[in-house]
Amino acid sequence: MENIFDQLIDSYLIHHVGISDHFLSDKLAGSLKDNLNELYSIGNLTSARIGNDENAGVNKLVRSDKIFWLDKSHEDKFEDAFFLLIDEFILHLNSTCFTGITGYEFHYAFYEAGSFYKRHIDQFNSNKDRAFTVIFYLNENWVYADGGQLCVHFEDTMQLIAPLNGRCIFFKSSELEHEVLLTMKPRLSITGWLKTNLV
């Protein structure tokens, strides 16, 4: 896995957005996708909120995805395998780049057809502990016409990234504005943040 970790880190250092198309194996991605579809089918997902304080709330004009937070207490073998992979990546990241990551949080994200997430940045004004955003896609046979691309905004240009199965995206949470474009069919992912102890 170190080669895949290095590919993600190197592409981040060069382009400010790291991309690895093989971070998740097909088997693990498929199992996590099955988990998410099951959670959706039994109604365990909740509408995603905006903000992180007492004023946080649902605003479907800004984002219309549904989420479910991952937790090691769930004792799900596929999520545990995912967490093990994240632990290995953080160990490698800290030892090679001295990033000081001390924790993380991840949730499933389900975008129904017609869903989107408007342009935003991932770090809160009141809490600076999100250091890096990491996204994993769980979508087989995705084509351009399906929409749902991640649009990353730079100063004078933008980058469109397709949500292809097993692909990992990695960027600094405080730097890049981004959005999820309108999706034409269900779009599944795991989104999360590598965190430090900063407040």
Tally of domains within the chain: 1
Q: Which of 32, 16, 6, 26 is nearest to 170 (CA)?
A: 16
Q: How far apart are CA 118 and CA 111, in angstroms?
A: 13
The reported pLDDT for the residue numbered 109 is: 98
Q: Which of 159, 151, 156, 154 is nearest to 183 (CA)?
A: 151
Token pair recorded at residue 31 = 């199992």
Structural domain for 73, as ranges: 2-195
pLDDT classification of 53: cutoffs 50, 70, 90? low
The reported pLDDT for the residue numbered 55 is: 58
The single-letter code of the amino acid at 34 is D
Question: Which tens digit of pLDDT belongs to each residue from 133-149?
Answer: 999 999 999 999 999 99
Q: What is the CATH number of the domain that holds 45?
A: 2.60.120.620
Residues 187 and 194 sit within 8 Å (Cβ to Cβ): no
Query: Residue 172 above 70 pLDDT?
Result: yes
Q: Which of 122, 116, 111 is nearest to 185 (CA)?
A: 111
The pTM of this model reads 0.94
